[in-house]
Amino acid sequence: MQVLLLLAAVGLCGAQYNSNTQAGRTSIVHLFEWRWADIALECERYLAPNGFGGVQVSPPNENIIVTNPFRPWWERYQPISYKLCTRSGNEDEFRDMVTRCNNVGVYIYVDAVVNHMCGAAGGSGTHSTCGSYFDAGNENFPAVPYSGWDFNDGRCYTSNGEIQNYGDMYQVRDCRLSGLLDLAQEKDYVRTKIAEYMNYLIDIGVAGFRIDAAKHMWPGDIKAFLDKLNTLNTRWFPSGTKPFIYQEVIDLGGEPITGSQYFENGRVTEFKYGAKLGTVIRKWDGEKMAYLKNWGEGWGFVPSDRALVFVDNHDNQRGHGAGGASILTFWDARLYKMAVGFMLAHPYGFTRVMSSYRWTRNFVNGQDANDWIGPPSNSDGSTKSVTINADTTCGNDWVCEHRWRQIRNMVIFRNVVDGEPFSNWWDNDSNQVAFGRGNKGFIVFNNDDWYMNVNLQTGLPAGTYCDVISGQKEGNACTGKQVYVSGDGTANFQISNTDEDPFVAIHVDAKL
């Protein structure tokens, strides 16, 4: 009995690593800067029918309005209060989105910006997305309320109050990140305000959180506010379910702050993943796909069940944050599809797909001077809706990578092979590689500069399979290439290095 009580207690306080996605749904998509009304529609018309498990939404809480430059995307990382109104919509629209997405089994993950408030130079007034008054210079945010006592100034010892040296973990946690007013999470009052905000969202029905700038908070302080959280809304989730937590900790090695310091709270973003995969697929630094044989922990990544993985994110697709030039994005579509395909086929980590908007880049000395440009918007700054073209792609400069056939079909592939082991690896000691997932799926890449023609053991039952990259199964036919698996599980694969997409993927749900 005592043991049972103890286990129950551990269960209630313990960290949340499970994504809370429905069984058979294994990925989430970040619908960066989308309006709540558009996300609700997308859950119903596209994400649910195609097996997506959830959506990471942009920060829903009130933020500063920045007009110079005009309405940059990053103004949403400068909170003014925890009221739910932003360019994505108001509280009613947020509630409607959560309800409608949850009702079709696609869950909502909120980007929680709780390390800081707006920048110190944010001024005073009501230039905020719900019109709440604030005074950044005096650290006064009456709509929370937070006042000067609630910030870390007394704990930061750098000359200008900024983080100056990432080699000093005290600075990184207690000083200002890019001038952003740094909240004192060691105060119970601040912990309580953060937990009240998160609980408000939990009660509406969200399934988890990305913890923004987790690296800039002490793991124990994060634990303290997470311990105050409710379990999820029982209208959609089993009673006692804890929110999924993934913490943004950029750990590329070489700093005192590591991802593993945050495991007690939940998963961490594994930034080495996209940086390395981009390097390999670009064939930089002498890398080749054959080296991916031991991808995952073998590359020095955090354990698979502690990792949230992605090829690119909203920061490093435009040169912010970490990863550098190797990061693949929709701008390099051919290589990007291969990278996302590899990620979704490989068992390592919990996967997040990026969905972006297009902007006009302006490279000055290798840096994009337009890295600030916000979402497609009207002249009054309001965000444009996501229109859907006849061919199912998106209009109004929304890229909708998650709707690209190759990516969408690999999201489905990952669902089909869920739980199956990494198997039947093959490589040519160069950039032609293949691997399977038990007897459910198989994928083959040709990233060399010559034709590929090989017979490989797939592990799959005999039959004719539709390649889900060049097409898919529709009715009783394939719209793209076909692959014939013989009785011994082998199949012939021919992939030209000049193919639009030089990779092939088959799985048991796309068998004729």
Out of 179, 243, 441, 502, the only residue in the binding site for ligand QV4 (CB under 6 A) is 179
Q: How far is the CB of 249 from Ca ion (least distance, A)?
A: 13
**Distance from C-alpha of 240 to C-alpha of 245, rounded to nearest angstrom:** 15
String of contacts with ligand QV4 for each residue 305-344, x by CB under 6 A: ----------x----xxx----------------------
Cβ proximity to Ca ion: between 115 and 129 the closer is 115
Query: 38, 93, 212, 501: which one is catalytic?
Result: 212
Interface with ligand QV4 includes 270 (CB under 6 A)?
no
- With a CB cutoff of 8 Å and minimum separation 6, the contacts of 389 are 395
Q: How far is the CB of 217 from Ca ion (least distance, A)?
A: 5
Is 48 in a helix, a strand, or coil? coil
315 binds, among ligand QV4, Ca ion, none (CB under 5 to 8 A by kind): ligand QV4
Provide the token pair at 475. 């009715």
Q: Are 506 and 483 in contact (CB under 8 A)?
A: yes
Cβ proximity to Ca ion: between 40 and 211 the closer is 211
Interface with ligand QV4 includes 370 (CB under 6 A)?
no
179 binds, among Ca ion, ligand QV4, none (CB under 5 to 8 A by kind): ligand QV4
Provide the token pair at 272. 């080495």
**Distance from C-alpha of 472 to C-alpha of 413, rounded to nearest angstrom:** 11
- With a CB cutoff of 8 Å and minimum separation 6, the contacts of 165 are 158, 171
Cβ proximity to ligand QV4: between 130 and 322 the closer is 322
Backbone angles phi, psi at 189, to 5 degrees: -60, -45
**Distance from C-alpha of 358 to C-alpha of 262, rounded to nearest angstrom:** 34
Interface with ligand QV4 includes 42 (CB under 6 A)?
no
Residue with token string 């006009």: 360
Buried b (16+ CB within 10 A) or exposed e, 7-38: eeeeeeeebbbbbbbbeebbbbbbbbbbbbbb
Out of 113, 201, 229, 478, the only residue in the binding site for ligand QV4 (CB under 6 A) is 113
Site for ligand QV4 in 231-260 (CB under 6 A): 248, 250
Instruction: Determine the interface stretch with ligand QV4 among 90-98, 208-216, 258-266, 287-295 (rule: CB under 6 A).
Output: 208-216
Q: Are 506 and 469 in contact (CB under 8 A)?
A: no
Query: 62, 93, 150, 248: which one is catalytic?
Result: 248
Interface with ligand QV4 includes 77 (CB under 6 A)?
yes
Provide the token pair at 470. 């060049």
Out of 70, 74, 291, 299, the only residue in the binding site for ligand QV4 (CB under 6 A) is 74
Nearest to 485 by CA among 430, 441, 433: 441
Cβ proximity to ligand QV4: between 110 and 468 the closer is 110
Out of 83, 100, 215, 440, the only residue in the binding site for ligand QV4 (CB under 6 A) is 215
- With a CB cutoff of 8 Å and minimum separation 6, the contacts of 110 are 56, 57, 59, 60, 198, 201, 206, 208, 209, 210
Cβ proximity to ligand QV4: between 109 and 442 the closer is 109
Cβ proximity to ligand QV4: between 76 and 414 the closer is 76
Residue with token string 């601040």: 190
Binding site for Ca ion (CB under 5 A): 115, 182, 216
Q: How far is the CB of 280 from Ca ion (least distance, A)?
A: 34
Residue 420 among the catalytic residues: no
Out of 67, 126, 178, 294, the only residue in the binding site for ligand QV4 (CB under 6 A) is 178
Instruction: Determine the interface stretch with ligand QV4 among 7-15, 16-24, 148-156, 212-220 (rule: CB under 6 A).
Output: 212-220
- Cβ burial of 365 (10 Å; 0-12, 13-18, 19+) is exposed
The DSSP 8-state label assigned to residue 232 in this structure reads: P
Active-site residue list: 212, 248
- The residue ranges that bind ligand QV4 (CB under 6 A) are 74-75, 77-78, 113, 119-121, 162, 177-180, 212-213, 215, 248, 250, 315, 320-322
